[in-house]
Amino acid sequence: MNEREAITDAPVSGVEHWTTKATADAEVRLFLWEKFVGSPEGKPAIVFVHGSSMASQPTFDLAVAGRPDSSVMDWFARRGFVCWCVDMEGYGRSDKKHDIYCDIANGADDLAAASAYIMKKRGVGAFMVYGISSGALRAALFAERHPERVARLALDAYVWTGEGAPTLVERRKKLPEFLARKRRPIDRAFVHSIFARDHPDCAEQRVVDAFADAILALDDSMPNGTYIDMCSKLPINDPSKLTMPTLVLRGQYDGIAGFDDLIEFFKRLPHPDKQFSVLAGISHASFQQKNYLLVYDILHAFFARPAPAYVGPREVDA
């Protein structure tokens, strides 16, 4: 067995965790899921942040028979990382007791509570953070609020102002419905529509079916807060406040992440270590696409990148 096979075949451990988020009227219980090979001690930590319409484990720890490495958490764990995901309030196993919209700011609060728990539990100083779709907005807002906790930031299927996003044009037509209630029902047809709206050939039907099974095993409705924010409150994030190395990932066929919009966002990122990658043959849900291993490779190169030996001349106060 060669070294690559040993890494690839290593058994991955999963550990369930719970923490609480203090609110004005109660404590909210949040579910966290951790995966690693061997021991979690002393390894770089990734926090994966889910989107608007599914909890964390279906997105980041999906198992599909005959599709190797469907779990991005397992893939990174076998390459020396300890991987975490958290169900935002209102999703999956986390509390759903509050009658609130669970907007992007609330998700950033969840990430603050989750990261504080992990820092105390595992002694992590700063994290690699990956967010997809509205999870990218949550991750970016968390990074703005707590830049000292984010070593590297990856934003996938991200939307800044919403310009050039045909999916959001259609979604805005339903804004009155989203405002009228805190949650919206979901079913198998809804999950299928995520993959059909941009370019149906990007994902295998069996993967979409497995994804739907995993989502619907945990939830039959989703909070409306992130939809409302993305339809009526953009921009949520200020790129000038994202002071850490940042990777922007944009699927070739993504109907939410407008290309020119992202270029303007990218220009304003202040850190010199920044990267913009177009994901060939991918629409919106990157890790469930046929080209998912391409995404893993780009993300791994960014998260494993060594610190530069030279960072330019120091600025001297006049």
Q: How does pLDDT run across 92-148, given as a tens digit for each residue? A: 999 999 999 999 999 999 999 999 999 999 999 999 999 999 999 999 999 999 999
Residue 2 is predicted with a pLDDT of 37
pLDDT for 315: 61
Say yes or no to pLDDT of 241 above 70: yes
Q: How much is the pLDDT for 316?
A: 56
* Strands laid side by side in the 274-279 sheet: 13-22, 27-36, 82-86, 45-49, 127-132, 150-156, 246-251, 274-279
For residues 146-169, give the mean pLDDT: 97
Which pLDDT belongs to residue 317?
54
The secondary structure of 174-193 as a DSSP string is THHHHHH-SEEE--HHHHHH
Q: What is the spatial distance between Cα 100 and Cα 244, in angstroms, rounded to a whole number? A: 31
Instruction: Find residue 247's DSSP bridge partners.
Output: 154, 275
Q: What is the pLDDT of residue 3?
A: 39
Parallel, antiparallel, or unpaired for β 27-36 and 13-22?
Answer: antiparallel
pLDDT value at residue 6: 42
- 221: which 2 tokens? 């409705």
pLDDT beyond 80 at 230: yes
Beta-bridge partner residues of 156:
132, 249
Residue 15 CA to residue 115 CA, distance in Å, equals 16
pLDDT of residue 197: 92
- Structural tokens at position 173: 């037509």
Using the predicted structure, report yes or no on whether residue 294 has a pLDDT greater than 70: yes
Reported confidence tier of residue 318, pLDDT bands at 50, 70, 90: very low
**Inter-axis angle of helices 188-196 and 205-216, nearest 10:** 140
What is the C-alpha to C-alpha distance for residues 261 and 279, in angstroms, rounded to an integer? 16
Q: Does residue 37 contact residue 79 with C-beta atoms inside 8 Å?
A: no
Confidence of residue 10 (pLDDT cuts 50, 70, 90): confident
Strands (DSSP E) contained in 37-186 are 45-49, 82-86, 127-132, 150-156, 183-185
Phi, psi of 131 (to 5 degrees): -130, 145
What mean pLDDT do residues 177-182 have? 98
User: Which tokens go with 168?
Assistant: 């959001």
For residues 12-36, average pLDDT? 96
Q: How far is CA 157 from CA 4, 130, 263, 281, 308, in A?
A: 30, 11, 13, 14, 27
Q: How far, in Å, CA of 198 to CA of 220, rounded?
A: 24
More confident site: 2 or 155: 155
- What pLDDT shows up at residue 44? 98
Residue 88 is given by DSSP the state P
Give yes or no for residue 243 having a pLDDT over 70.
Answer: yes
Other Cβ atoms closer than 10 A to 70: 19
| Predicted TM-score of the model (pTM) | 0.95
| Confidence band, pLDDT 50/70/90 cuts, at residue 313 | confident
Query: Is the CB of residue 222 less than 8 Å from the CB of residue 194?
Result: no
Mean pLDDT score, 42-50: 98
Instruction: Quote the pLDDT of residue 45.
Output: 98
What would the DSSP string read from start to end of 9-60?
H---EEEEEEEEEE-SS-EEEEEEEEEESS--TT--EEEEE--TTS-HHHHH
pLDDT of 36 reads 98
pLDDT at residue 311 tops 90: no
Q: What is the pLDDT at residue 298?
A: 98
Q: What is the mean pLDDT of residues 157-169?
A: 96
